[in-house]
Amino acid sequence: MDTSNPFFNLDRNRCILCSRCVRACQEITGVGAIDMANRGYDMKVATFGDATLMDSICLSCGECMVRCPVGALIPKETVSPAKEVKTVCPYCGVGCSMYLGVKYGKITGIRGDPEGPANQGRLCVKGRFGIAEFVNHQDRLTAPLIRKNGELVEASWEEALSLVASKLGKYRGEEVALITSARSTNEDNYVMQKLARAVLGTNNVDHCARL
């Protein structure tokens, strides 16, 4: 078994050598991290030089895993969801459609939407494995915070937005800065910079694309 990958395992004892994982890696992702190695009874799915998945060029996207019909490639953690919620991946502006498996108010798994116009069911490593960790994290903010008496306290969205609107009225032009997100679409970011320049009168526009 190859258990080096942090998200899924490769158990060759279950492998039937169908090569669906190989074709997914080569034809869908275009990475080619795995291939069929050796011949006859020694044939197996392997990386270049028979290295572990983590020591190869594998991107950990999981496209091979979701196409394995026998569980030779299987997630390290598997929890059956109580329901699925259709949503859009928040990591970048591509707009990949996905289904979140949810149980007891927590994300238990993620799968791509086969009918998603942007991704057609495909997901990258962040979309497939990276969302649940920060959404379920105990330190994640789930409500706006405003400063009262020098301390940050939870507030409703209405209270927070009213406070921001009242504060913005006290500043003009270059005293204001606007931060956009690389996870938004180009169209949304275009509207945001127009808001900054045409409405707020500032050219101070920043973003998170370099993070």
Quote the pLDDT of residue 134: 84
Between strands 44-47 and 73-75, the pairing is unpaired
Contacts of 72 (CB under 8 A, 6+ apart): 10, 11, 12, 13, 14, 15, 16, 21, 45
The DSSP result for 74-129, as a single string, is EESS----SEEEEEE--SSSS--EEEEEEETTEEEEEEE-TT-TTTTT---HIIII
The answer to which of 47-51, 102-106, 115-119, 206-210 has the lowest mean pLDDT is 206-210
Backbone angles phi, psi at 169, to 5 degrees: -65, -15
Q: How far apart are CA 161 and CA 168, in angstroms?
A: 11
Residue 22 near residue 35, CB atoms below 8 Å: yes
Residue 64 near residue 25, CB atoms below 8 Å: yes
Q: Which residues pair with 145 in a beta bridge?
A: 154
Domains defined for the chain, CATH in brackets: 8-75 (3.30.70.20), 83-135 (2.20.25.90), 142-170 (no CATH), 171-211 (no CATH)
Quote the pLDDT of residue 205: 92
The encoded tokens of residue 84 equal 């699925």
Query: For residue range 106-154, what is the model confidence (pLDDT) as tens digits?
Result: 999 999 999 999 999 999 999 999 998 888 888 888 899 999 999 999 9
Percent of all residues in the chain with a pLDDT value above 70, rounded to a whole number: 99
